[in-house]
Amino acid sequence: MCGIIGYIGKKDAVPIIMRGLRRLEYRGYDSAGVSVLNHGCAIEMRKAVGVLDNLFSAVDKNPLAGPLGIGHTRWATHGVPSSENCHPHFDCTGNIMVVHNGIIENFKELKDELIKKGHRFSSETDTEITAHLIEEALSAGAADLEAAVRACIARIEGSYALGIFRKDEPHTLIGVRQGSPLVVGIGKDEYFISSDVSAIVESTRQIIYLDDGEIITMKTGGYHITDFKGNKVKGVVKKVTWDVEALDKAGFEKYMLKEIHEQPNIIRQNLRMRVTKDKKGVAFDDFTISDDVLKKISKIYIVSCGTAYYAGFTGKYLMEHFTSLPVEIDLASEFRYRKPKLLNENTLIIAVSQSGETADTLASVYEAKGKGCKVLAICNVVGSTLTRESDGTIYINAGPEISVASTKAYTGQLLSIYLFTIYLAKLKGEMTAAAAAALIKELEAVPNKMEKIMRGEQEIIEIAKKYCKAKSAFYLGRGFNYPNALEGALKNKEISYMHAEGYAAGEMKHGPIALIDENFPVVCIATKGSTYDKMISNMKEVEARKGRIIAISSNGDKNVPQIAETVISVPETAEEVSPLVNIMPLQLLAYYIAQYKGCDIDKPRNLAKSVTVE
Ligand code: M6R
């Protein structure tokens, strides 16, 4: 939630910050602000409520410039989206400027304390407290901004990434990381801080991923990193290797559509990287959990949120199908609050996350690690907190996912789970080389099948037009495609605001079928497989209540078209692999329904890409 950015150097900070904010907009779009120290060493600031374009207009109307500055895009937590609550925030003198991502949990008591000392607050935010604490420390004699920041963070509790500068130290920008992501870009005589590499990669590819509990002080002539106690820390500079072009829309109207279309190639590339030459197995070059450790695993918990949870849910079906291991799937936000059994060194936690920064997922990982479990991350963002906290990571290599609605990360996560399942099952002697080869062959056929579905996109556009006015929809699936039904419904509701519910088709008769009438669209995943006959029966039950069935059906199927009002045909695929193919029309359907409804597809209301608060 929220994106922060900062710059110090010889260039004008404003265009750098504004371009960076555009990249960070997916993290929140309730308001945005920028503040610089101008060439006359005065602070200037522009703020705007609502989407980032409003800030661009404010800056166009009333330009500002300077070699040092910070910017912020907000997803509101404390205080409504308003000009007062928009970052940057400042102290009583207006000389100390702060941007923040995260939550300061003890802000209320600190605020009361500071009000008693005479501080006047201008916002309802938790963030503002930091500017006032820094002000207090400086008036109490702190040697400089860095010392005052250290005094401030000794008082605050919670999660935070901060960007800070001060009028009276015109050559210093400070970044702090504790529980919220912060990366540092190293340029020639210039430095950048940002919540996300994508916001600074056009300026530099040399990146330091700060760890929790670290402060970076950047001056025009160099930088140093310390821990919260003041001990020197050596920051490791890493090079970003992905293409900057990956951040553009490449001619697509929206990022989401571009990302849907990227899926076949992401799957191809990852299969090329991971499948062994003889095509009978899988190898993970970047994977650091030893075979000995994996062989001892007796229980698996998969923890994740949202779309990543549904990918993990399919993982449960897969791992239970191909191995003898008991596998549980948990919403990360629930895992911590129940009492899961057998959390010990023989338990593997698989944490699935696109961003690697989701607070609930991270909290589950910390909890499990505390009990001695091994942690495997399935993640997209290199260097993210999750990957650093885990014993091993399988990167999904999907490239930056900008659209808030996750698509390519979902299929990337699914593919990684398939590959890990093959690896694990072979390691445990529960999958023969021939069975692995057959499964790999099916996976290798997926990209062409996805492309075939995309060639039928026009048909899906027509279907979206036909159903876009519905108030509500059901998404039904069984077995391997039950999690896919949940994901299809999530895609629909999050981008088109149409109420949609995913259900295990067999559950309909236990209650939800009462809702069905002649206006109710029911999307049924009814491709060939072991639950096909049961699915046909469930569809007949819906048909008997006059529900409007939209069926995802295997090419050439003769039964489904007799029951469904509308059919989307997909290439026939082995049941275990079918989720990768069947999700494609559901993503496209959600996209075009949202387009017909005129929704802001890449930035749905009330959402943020990366949920870094619990
Ligand atoms: O970055 P993560 O994969 O951990 O994010 C988890 C969810 O917040 C995310 O999948 C969310 O549900 C998306 N908006 C779904 O499209």
3-state SS, one letter per residue, for 141-164: CCCCHHHHHHHHHHHCCEEEEEEE
- Residue 406 inside a domain? The answer is yes
Tokens matching residue 212:
């929790």
381 CA closest ligand 1 atom index: 1
Q: Do 460 and 522 have their domain in common?
A: yes
Show the domain range for 223. 3-241
409 CA → ligand 1 middle, Å: 9
Please report the pLDDT score of residue 38 as a whole number: 95
DSSP bridge pairs for 140: none
pLDDT confidence of residue 214 = 97
The verdict on whether 2 is a catalytic residue reads yes
Which of 27, 260, 305, 591 gets mutated to test ligand 1 (max ligand atoms within 8 A of its CB)?
Answer: 305
* pLDDT tens digits, 343-401: 899 999 999 999 999 999 999 999 999 999 999 999 998 888 999 999 999 999 898 89
Residues 144-164, mean pLDDT to the nearest whole number: 96
Residues 357 and 407 in one domain: yes
Residues of the chain with pLDDT > 70, as a percent, come to: 100
403 lines ligand 1 (CB under 6 A): no
Q: Please give the structure tokens belonging to residue 601.
A: 């597809």
Token digits of residue 567: 């059919």
342 and 220 together in one domain:
no
Q: Give residue 76's pLDDT.
A: 80
- Measured in whole angstroms, the distance separating CA 47 from the mean position of its chain's CA atoms is 26
Q: Do 289 and 189 have their domain in common?
A: no
What pLDDT, on a 0 to 100 scale, did the predictor assign at position 135? 98
Instruction: Report how many domains make up the chain.
Output: 3
Above 80 in pLDDT, residue 31?
A: yes
State if residue 610 touches ligand 1 by the CB under 6 angstroms criterion.
Answer: yes
- Residue 56 confidence (pLDDT): 97
HSE toward the beta carbon, residue 49, CA cutoff 13 A = 8
- The better pLDDT of the pair 422, 196 is held by 422
CB 167 within 8 A of CB 95: yes
Residue 330 and residue 204 in one domain: no
Cis (ω within 30 of 0) for the bond into 88? yes
SS3 state of residue 398: coil
**What residues contact 315, with CB distance under 8 A and at least 6 apart?**
302, 327, 329, 350, 352, 414, 417, 421
Q: How far apart are the CA of 604 and the centre of ligand 1, in A?
A: 13
Confidence (pLDDT) at 248: 78
What one-character DSSP code corresponds to residue 377? Answer: E
Q: What is the mean pLDDT of the chain?
A: 94
Q: How far is CA 114 from CA 17, 37, 111, 119, 164, in A?
A: 31, 26, 5, 5, 20
| pLDDT band at 612; cut points 50, 70, 90 | confident
Q: Counting Cβ atoms within 10 Å, is residue 453 exposed (0-12), middle (13-18) or buried (19+)?
A: buried
Q: Give the residue among 411, 313, 353, 257 at the shortest CA–CA distance from 611.
A: 353
Q: Strands 566-570 and 548-554, how do they pair?
A: parallel
Q: 68 with 165: CB under 8 angstroms? A: yes
- For 482, the token pair is 């039950």
Q: Catalytic one among 258, 426, 528, 609?
A: 609
* Residue 566, domain member (yes or no): yes
CA-CA distance, 30 to 28, in Å (whole number)? 6
Q: Do residue 436 and residue 555 come from a single domain?
A: no
Confidence of residue 253 (pLDDT cuts 50, 70, 90): very high
pLDDT per position as a tens digit, 260-319: 999 999 999 899 989 999 999 999 977 889 999 999 999 999 999 999 999 999 999 999
- What token pair was written down for 507? 């559950």
Same domain, 297 and 426: yes
Give the domain CATH number at 546.
Answer: 3.40.50.10490
By alpha-carbon position, which residue is closest to atom 9 of ligand 1?
306
CA 29 to chain centroid, in Å, comes to: 15
Regarding whether 366 and 337 lie in a shared domain, the answer is yes
Supply the pLDDT for residue 30.
Answer: 86
pLDDT at 75: 82
Domain co-membership, 482 together with 440: no
Comparing CA positions, the residue from 26, 18, 88 lying closest to residue 355 is 26
Task: Answer whether residue 109 shows pLDDT above 90.
Answer: yes
CB 416 within 8 A of CB 273: no
Report whether pLDDT(246) > 80: no
pLDDT above 70: residue 226? yes
Q: How far is the CA of 268 from the centre of ligand 1 (A)?
A: 23
Among 418, 435, 450, give the residue marking a domain's end. 450
Using the atom order of ligand 1, give the atom closest to the CA of residue 610.
1
Distance CA 137, CA 114 (A): 12
The residue among 419, 450, 481 that closes a domain is: 450
pLDDT score recorded for residue 340: 86
Helix (H, G, I), strand (E, B) or coil at 17: helix
Report yes or no on 344 lying in a domain.
yes
Residue 246 lies in a domain: no
The string over 150-181, giving b where at least 16 C-beta atoms fall within 10 Å of a residue's C-beta and e elsewhere, is bbbbebbebbbbbbbbbeebbebbbbbbbbbb
pLDDT of 486-500, one tens digit each? Answer: 999 999 999 999 999
CA dihedral sign, ordered 72, 75, 81, 84: negative
Domain shared by 170 and 288, yes or no = no
- In this structure, what CATH number is given to the domain that contains residue 81? 3.60.20.10
The pTM of the full predicted model, rounded to 2 decimals, is 0.80
pLDDT at 87: 96
222 lies in some domain:
yes
Instruction: Please check whether residue 442 lies inside any domain of the structure.
Output: yes
Section 139-160 average pLDDT: 96
d(CA 489, CA 478): 14
Residue 137, C-beta contacts closer than 8 angstroms, at least 6 positions apart? 147, 148, 149, 151, 152
Token pair in block for residue 272: 């090329």
- Is the residue at 369 inside a domain? yes
Question: In a 3-state reduction of DSSP, which class is residue 180?
Answer: coil
pLDDT over 90 at 607, yes or no = no
Q: Is the CB of 217 under 6 A from ligand 1?
A: no
> What Å distances lie between residue 3 and 163, 498, 558, CA to CA?
11, 28, 51
**Judgement on whether residues 481 and 606 belong to the same structural domain of the protein:** yes
Does residue 48 contact residue 42 with C-beta atoms inside 8 Å?
no
Nearest ligand 1 atom, CA 609? 14
Q: Is residue 607 part of a domain?
A: yes
Q: Which residues pair with 460 in a beta bridge?
A: none
Among 254, 303, 406, 416, which is best to mutate for testing ligand 1, by the most ligand atoms less than 8 A from CB?
406
CA 596, chain centre distance (Å): 26
Number of Cα atoms under 13 Å in the Cβ half of residue 111: 15
* Domain edge (last residue) among 450, 473, 498: 450
Average pLDDT over every residue of 168-182:
94
Assess contact for 52 and 104: CB atoms under 8 A.
no
The predicted-structure confidence for 397-421, as pLDDT tens digits, reads as follows 898 899 999 999 999 999 999 999 9
Ligand 1 centre distance from Cα of residue 152 (Å): 32
Q: Are 305 and 409 in contact (CB under 8 A)?
A: no
**Spatial CB neighbours of 533, under 8 Å, sequence gap ≥ 6:** none
Other CB atoms within 10 A of residue 118 CB: 7
Are the C-beta atoms of residues 577 and 547 closer than 8 Å to each other? no
Which of 541, 527, 529, 523 is CA-nearest to residue 485? 523
pLDDT exceeds cutoff 70 at 1: no
Backbone angles phi, psi at 252, to 5 degrees: -80, 155
Ligand 1 pocket, mutate which of 196, 304, 310, 354 (most atoms under 8 A from CB): 354
Do 435 and 469 fall into the same domain?
A: no
For 59-182, strand residue ranges (E) read 68-74, 89-90, 96-104, 158-166, 172-178
Task: Kindly state the tokens that stand for 16.
Answer: 């750098």
* Separation of CA 239 and ligand 1 centre (Å): 26
Task: Evaluate whether 342 touches 326 at the Cβ level (below 8 Å).
Answer: no
Q: Which residue type does 299 have? A: K
Look at residue 172 and tell me whether its pLDDT is greater than 70: yes
Cβ atoms 259, 402 nearer than 8 A: yes
Contact 67, 37 (CB under 8 A): yes
